[in-house]
Chains A and B, each alone.
Chain A
Amino acid sequence: MSGKNCVAIASDKRFGVKYLTISMEFPKMFQATDKTFIGISGLATDVQTLMERFRFKINMYRMNEERDFEPITLANMVSSTLYERRFSPYFVEPIVAGLDKNNNPYINGMDLIGCSTTACDFAATGTPEDQLYGTCEALWEPNLEPEELFETISQTIMSATNRDCVSGWGAVVHVITPERVITRTLKTRMD
């Protein structure tokens, strides 16, 4: 979700097989660069494999180019990595969120074969995708300040996951501002 010179990215923390919850501390987002995060939803094994591959590519880029990925470049890298497997995809839907070098918000949602959608407002993926889009449409408004954005994205993800029986069990929110990254874990329903 984008705000005024800030972006926020949130995910739940459940990892489960069908209806059995195995872990409530499963990270689905990682910090790609100082001001950019990648969040991946989908099949857990692919989420982990892709996180490893992306981390490798990000580190190689940093060493080769002696600079960090810009969010838009990062999104293109993610998109090409997925499209390379057009006919044997990873079962994932990633989101790239961050601030570019001028601290403008950048948000990009992708399907499993790398069709990227740049959004000026919000992007959502995962099992409660439909619910998320609904709550986002209702709660999001332009030019939210970091603290307002935090409340909006938190309430959005909590409302949506409460209507989806296989997600939830805690949530993490990162708010990225030009000065700092604020990370908060939310108190949510645990059912």
Chain B
Amino acid sequence: MVSRVDVPKGGFNFDNYQRNLILQEKGFSLPKPTKTGTTIVGTKFKNGVVLGADTRATGDTTVMDKNCFKIHYLAPNIYGCGAGTAADTDKITKMVASQLELHRLATGRESRVATALTALTQFLFRYQGHLGAALVLGGVDVDGPHLFSVSPHGSTDKLPYLCQGSGSLAAISIFESQWRENMERDEAIELVKEAIKAGIFNDMGSGSSVDVAVIEKGRAEVCRGMEVPYPTIQKVDSYKFKPGTTAILSESFRNFVTITEGDAMDIS
């Protein structure tokens, strides 16, 4: 018999493609991938960048995750918010983060936002928009604060403030009416919070709470759940069942044992 040990060659694997086409013809429905119908925003301020995101992930119309984290780490001084297919934004940012880490270790220098931008756009362009990842990329490097948006096809925009995702229309209205140049840090955070809340309240695909990341020269701060418009209300009653409620047909136990061999090593 031929050995079936397959070592991944790297890159995507298309083995199931033909079969899945046939299966879909026969009427097997593909489970829906999780999307982040999202509101993500970013703005520059006097000496840094603020990024914001909501925390809802949806699969079709079901809320798959009520508190997911859409502000992805890319480097200590660079973060990126992701909208679109959740798996794509997750994996692409993770991949670029590791490339940047290796680059830093090789060069001994702080990563530049442009490096992250190039890595992301070149990768996305190669897949011609089939990777559904839209990103808001923000960071501060030797050249100062930067803010970019990246589309799934690999095109980029460089703007002082921007929004992406299904809630971007609601969020941009806040920026259009209230944004000013050279805002203070607290002003910028407040504006980002308002923009995300506009998305949360007016867009079905966005919801839950507001996450914010503030990046300045030499420090980055990520705040999970900076504002929670609808905190979960504690249940008033307990719905515990009495032990023995559920009828059992069979039962088995697998006990763990701790094996200690000899005396503990003297490490004093």
Contacts and interface: CB of A to CB of B under 8 A. Distances in A.
Q: Touching in the complex, A and B, CB below 8 A?
A: yes
A40 B65 CA distance: 19
Given A84-B13, A115-B87, A141 B240 contact: yes
A180 B255 CA distance: 4
A93 B249 CA distance: 27
Given A151-B241, A180-B253, A88 B15 contact: yes
Interface in A83-120: 83-93, 109, 111-117, 119
Contacts of A162: none
Given A91-B23, A117-B64, A154-B246, A111 B59 contact: yes
A154 to B, nearest CB: 4
B16 A183 contact: no
B31 interface: yes
Contacts of B65: 117, 119
A116 B68 CA distance: 10
The residue in A88, A150, A151, A179 that gathers the most chain B C-beta atoms within 10 A of its C-beta is A88
Interface of B is mostly: loop
Contacts of B219: none
Contacts of A155: 241, 245-246
A145 to B, nearest CB: 9
A23 interface: no
Interface in A124-158: 129-130, 133, 138-139, 141, 144, 147-148, 150-152, 154-155, 158
Interface string B12-32: 111111011001000010111
Given A113-B87, A151-B242, A187-B247, A84 B33 contact: no
A84 B241 CA distance: 42
A179 B57 contact: no
Nearest to A83: B91
B57 A139 contact: no
B262 interface: no
B238 to A, nearest CB: 6
A87 B20 CA distance: 10
B31 A184 contact: no
A186 B247 CA distance: 6
Chain B interface category by residue count = 35 or more
A86 B87 contact: yes
Interface residues of A, number: 53
Interface in B216-255: 235, 238-243, 245-255
A110 to B, nearest CB: 9
28 contacts: A79-B87, A84-B12, A85-B14, A85-B16, A87-B14, A88-B17, A90-B16, A113-B33, A114-B87, A115-B86, A115-B90, A117-B68, A129-B62, A138-B239, A141-B235, A144-B240, A148-B240, A152-B241, A155-B241, A170-B249, A179-B256, A180-B253, A180-B256, A181-B254, A184-B252, A185-B250, A185-B251, A187-B247
Interface of B: 5, 8, 12-17, 19-20, 23, 28, 30-34, 57, 59, 62, 64-65, 68, 85-88, 90-91, 130-131, 235, 238-243, 245-256
Given A93-B31, A170-B249, A180-B253, 12 more contacts: A86-B88, A89-B30, A111-B32, A112-B31, A115-B33, A133-B62, A141-B240, A151-B246, A158-B246, A184-B251, A186-B247, A186-B249
Closest 7 CB pairs of A and B: A115-B87, A88-B16, A88-B17, A187-B247, A151-B241, A115-B86, A154-B246
